[in-house]
Structure 1
Amino acid sequence: MTKLSVNINKVATLRNARGGNVPDLLKVASDLEKMGAQGITIHPRPDERHIRYQDARDLVDVVTTEFNIEGNPIQKFIDLVLETKPTQVTLVPDAVDAITSNAGWDTIKHKDFLKEVIVEFQNAGIRTSIFVDPVLEMIEGAKETGADRIELYTEAYADGYTENKEEAIKPYITAAFLASDLGIGINAGHDLSLDNVAYFHNSIPDLLEVSIGHALMAESLYLGFETVVASYLEKLQ
């Protein structure tokens, strides 16, 4: 079964809109795990517009499944990850002003930098993953960095799913086979939803984990967390 890690950034966005602590981010994380989520993902950004750095520290004592922290490895982020020691760190090349992640790493251009950061995290016992587009050269480059896993950036798949899902999935299948051949674990995330996640899961060999936030939160507005989490788990069987 592919694991479901729930990204709770949007819960923090809602909390921050009014100040105070409603909804309670820590309680939501704990409740999602009780409902079956097999991991919790956060993506703190430098301006802390949703997840705050203190949230990462507080979640360490709350998350009992897998804790995944995503972000651009600027020094402040590196320090946070080394302090909190999550199960996994996912490196994402976000610009400071990015609304959401919009590209994978150029693992060839940034190979030396990524290798240096990855070794530091691995020496601390933290599993590493690199956010990449389904481009074979970038998968090969990820192998050269020493990363444990890649996270396939799935926006292009989600965009093309309705019109032609068979064509949309092709580059991801090819990328996944290469990653498996190279001995790299495969995660995926971005714009996966209840509509398209089952086909992706059924098409991608050795898919270890999906990280889903925005769609899951939007779907839960109508159906509720417990129903939506159960639906994802069923589709990821």
Structure 2
Amino acid sequence: MRVQLFIPCFVDQLYPSTAFNMIRVLEKLGCTVAYDPNQTCCGQPAFNAGFWDESKSVCEKFIRENASGNDPIVSPSASCTGFIRNYYSKLFDNSSLHNEVKDLASRTFEFSEFLVNVLKVEKVGAKLPLKATYHDSCAGLRECHIKEEPRKLLSNVAGLELVEMNDVETCCGFGGTFAVKYESISIAMAEQKVVNARQTGASCIISTDLSCLMHLDGYIRKKNLPVKTMHIADVLASGW
């Protein structure tokens, strides 16, 4: 299967190794991976900050760049995937791009759901000997309805012991600009999430979203705590 990559702007700038690991896994599973180096942002940051007109121009660029072809578009971010699926239709309602938006939403997938629901793969041959807990991102759980897919993949990682934390579906406190506008609340939410994770005895927090993990890792580093964060693509690319 041929797939198109959508690498979110912050992944491109801050976590490129995760993007390369996603490619490694997809190619191992027989996919031909294509990437358009001219792609930029999906438009979500401007939209969430209230700049809808500016966001719309960024979204339109993304739509036109992906309007041709039938290839699935795979991203290492449920947040960006959820924005494309759920909010493009609001920005372009009753517009000339309505059909393109509808088609784009149907072809855009978060990485773990693409593996499980499209490729029908739950085991990729990964090995990672550690005890970990999984964080359900708000976008993954509520916007993309992803719950079991990452857990199925992680349950088949050799050596990985996956334990559930309390309040696993509670927000980590990032929320993009929320973390800037409401810093104290955001930090308190991150603290509670990390406390719940550490109570499981896990040494690693795994998620589909690097935005959440970036926020949690910032708190962990500030407090010098003995726990790390990993994107699911990095986990699945381990040990082979």
- TM superposition score category, shorter chain reference: 0.3 to 0.5
* Larger Rg computed on CA atoms: 2
- Normalised to the residue count of structure 2, the TM-score between the two structures is 0.36
